[in-house]
A = this chain, B = another copy of it.
Amino acid sequence: MAVTTLHRPAHRDALGLLESAFGDGRLVTAFGRCTVEYDGRAASSLGPGDRLVVCKPDGAILVHTDEGREPVNWQPPGCTHRASVRDGRLRIRSERTSPDEVLDVAFERIEQVTAYEVDDRSDLTLTGSEEDLRRRILDEPDLVEPGFEPIATERETAAGPVDVFGSDEAGRPVVVELKRRRVGPSAASQLRRYVEAVDEEFPDEGVRGVLVAPSVTDRTAALLDERDLEFVALEPVDGDGDS
């Protein structure tokens, strides 16, 4: 059976389904009035309320309220789920090590528990990422500037990996930092850091830094200007239907 649902179950019955579903790798949802305690990298406490709890076979657990894209509490994949009944409450505990983290959900009332058999072999294909912007530039380096020649991607430097490293028409080293969307000051700092690192590798060659992004904020433009860094406006995907 692909889906098993218990409506307003006794805690004992809910416990049975949870244990069975955790055991054979099914996806589980539970809805009811609960409290949530978390302790790990930080610590949190959440008073009584109705929430949707999602337990995944990979060890992830999500506690969702009726608001927001983000779960109010969660545990990432790799945790171990356990269910129990104590003090008249149905409890779901999710634990992991490194870092040590525990999430505890205690239901005083459980409205519904469902276990789902999931068959999903499709992968997401996504366009418009920074990866697409990189490909676009490697395909057509002149988009950065006429005569630009890419030499390496993810080139290691003392300050970290540079998105695209190349040379300009005059043979000067060029550090290119890519961003898929409008950028703030941190991108300027990042580019500056790379340029300084590469500058130590190529003394007196006048290493240039170019930020490639759809746009920059005013403050970022000022920061780039101060540091003699350049900006090239470019989208991750061609806006026109051509090409």
Contact = CB atoms under 8 A, between A and B. Distances in A.
A226 to B, nearest CB: 9
B122 A47 contact: yes
Q: Work out how many copies of this chain go into the complex.
A: 2
Given A111-B3, A223-B159, A124 B46 contact: yes
Given A52-B54, A193-B189, A193-B223, A45 B124 contact: yes
B56 A66 contact: yes
Contacts of A50: 2, 116-120
B66 A112 contact: no
A127 B2 CA distance: 40
A236 B42 CA distance: 9
Interface residue tally on A, bucketed by range: 35 or more
A71 to B, nearest CB: 8
A66 B120 contact: yes
Contacts of A116: 31, 50, 52, 111-112
A159 B185 contact: yes
Nearest to A125: B45
Contact of A56 (B49, B67, B123): B67
Contacts of A67: 56-58, 60, 77
A44 B185 contact: no
A114 interface: yes
Interface of A: 2-3, 5, 7-8, 27, 29, 31, 33, 35, 41-52, 54, 56-58, 60, 62, 64-69, 71-77, 111-112, 114, 116-129, 158-160, 180-181, 185-186, 189-190, 192-193, 219, 222-223, 236
21 contacts: A3-B7, A3-B31, A5-B112, A29-B52, A31-B114, A42-B129, A44-B124, A46-B124, A47-B122, A47-B123, A49-B122, A50-B116, A50-B118, A62-B64, A67-B77, A69-B76, A69-B77, A111-B116, A158-B222, A159-B185, A159-B219
